[in-house]
């Protein structure tokens, strides 16, 4: 049996997790090494699942019997950057003040990771009839792809779970639906010429402006269509252009212009609709604007990330269990994307339910309230009682 020194409190675990700089552009292996050592100390079996490059890993641990039908507590280990943010203290050193725990990832979502790991000593000392799995992933903040290699092993080399609880911050409300997010890079290639002779070239900036205007028009269509479920805020699929850059001088037809855009779709949105509408608009802009005077230009659009939404599954095992554990009688929807849709696509009943507020995520001086961590501990104690033999 491990020494008492291995019996960390939730805050002690959170302090250690926050201390690892696991921005999505960096490796998370040092954090996973710590988690693996902690699990080894308690004799908990686990597998480490590396990415193709070998610089990041997920870890999947099992508390209780190695059988199908367990409950997955899913959290990610990566965090968003702190560069350019006005923190009042070191973002990678947990600071406790005013009933809050401050630090990058404290709420999104190392707080939940710490809660799940903090359950280990109690679970080891309890005879469980139903397994509880802890899955800590990578790259959630950039692609939500970091769980896929582990999910592919369910029912093959790993037990197939019966329910998944993704611990993103919901104030411990049970979310059974969220939007998808699909992101794109569009590059308009023009042909340089003197601005006094527009017929000698193709202005990539002008064509890109037309395309952005088309995205605004598509956005208006989505807003007009609205949300038939009445569950989302904002109540529509949203379309957004976040970055645009191009051109070299005011008096030169721009050779190139690129912009980054996305849409966040309601669960019932056909994910091919918006790219199809944009492709049609691109054909019009190509002929009517970019190549008005000759075959000078072209337009390239590349999909970067496509994160599926989470669709409601009333009465699912995950929903029923989480509502009972949280003491709720209804579900909610959230507008941000999570890894939950990846699990649902694999046929696993999934909900989102975790401590803290998403309003604090990605902010300078990110924090989770200490009473939210206490409520999270109570939630997991009830899960342990549910799974006890």
**Residue 264, SS3?**
strand
Annotated catalytic residue 283: no
Q: How many CB atoms lie within 10 A of CB 350?
A: 30
CA distance 66 to 133: 10
Task: Pick the catalytic residue from 15, 139, 140, 377.
Answer: 140
Query: How many angstroms separate the CA atoms of 191 and 298, rounded?
Result: 10
Q: Does the annotation count 140 as an active-site position?
A: yes
Residue 35 Cα distances to 28, 43, 77, 117, 348, angstroms: 11, 12, 11, 8, 25
What contacts 277, CB < 8 A, 6 or more positions away? Answer: 214, 218
Catalytic residue among 15, 23, 78, 319: 78
Active site residues: 78, 140
């Amino acid at each position: 049996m491990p020494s008492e020194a291995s019996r960390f409190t939730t805050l002690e675990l959170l302090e250690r997790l926050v201390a690892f700089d696991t921005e999505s552009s960096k490796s998370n292996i040092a954090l996973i090494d710590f988690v693996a050592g902690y699990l080894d100390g308690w004799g908990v079996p686990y597998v480490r699942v590396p990415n193709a490059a070998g610089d990041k890993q997920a870890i999947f641990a099992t508390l209780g019997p190695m059988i199908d039908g367990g409950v997955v507590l899913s959290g990610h280990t990566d965090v968003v950057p702190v560069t350019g943010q006005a923190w009042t203290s070191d973002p990678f050193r947990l600071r406790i003040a005013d009933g809050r725990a401050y630090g990058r990832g404290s709420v999104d979502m190392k707080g939940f990771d710490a809660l799940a790991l903090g359950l280990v000593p109690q679970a080891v000392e309890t005879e469980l009839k139903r397994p509880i799995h802890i899955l800590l992933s990578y790259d959630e903040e950039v692609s939500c792809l970091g769980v896929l290699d582990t999910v592919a092993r369910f029912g093959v080399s790993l037990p197939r779970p019966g329910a998944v609880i993704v611990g993103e911050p919901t104030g411990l409300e049970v979310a059974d639906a969220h939007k998808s997010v699909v992101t794109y890079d569009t590059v308009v290639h023009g042909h340089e010429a003197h601005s006094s002779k527009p017929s000698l070239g193709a202005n990539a900036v002008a064509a890109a402006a037309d395309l952005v205007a088309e995205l605004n028009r598509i956005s208006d269509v989505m807003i007009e269509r609205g949300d038939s479920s009445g569950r989302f805020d904002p109540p529509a699929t949203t379309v957004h252009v976040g970055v645009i850059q191009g051109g070299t001088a005011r008096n030169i037809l721009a050779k190139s212009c690129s912009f980054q855009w996305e849409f966040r779709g309601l669960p019932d949105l056909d994910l091919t609709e918006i790219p199809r509408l944009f492709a049609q608009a691109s054909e019009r802009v190509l002929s009517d604007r970019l190549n008005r005077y000759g075959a000078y230009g072209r337009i390239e659009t590349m999909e970067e990330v496509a994160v599926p939404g989470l669709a409601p599954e009333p009465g699912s095992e995950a929903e029923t269990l989480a509502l009972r554990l949280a003491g709720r009688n209804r579900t909610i929807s959230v507008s941000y994307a999570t890894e939950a849709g990846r699990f649902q696509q694999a046929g696993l009943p999934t909900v989102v339910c975790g401590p803290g507020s998403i309003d604090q995520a990605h902010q300078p001086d990110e924090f989770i309230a200490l009473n939210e961590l206490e409520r999270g501990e109570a939630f997991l104690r009830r899960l342990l009682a549910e799974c006890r033999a």
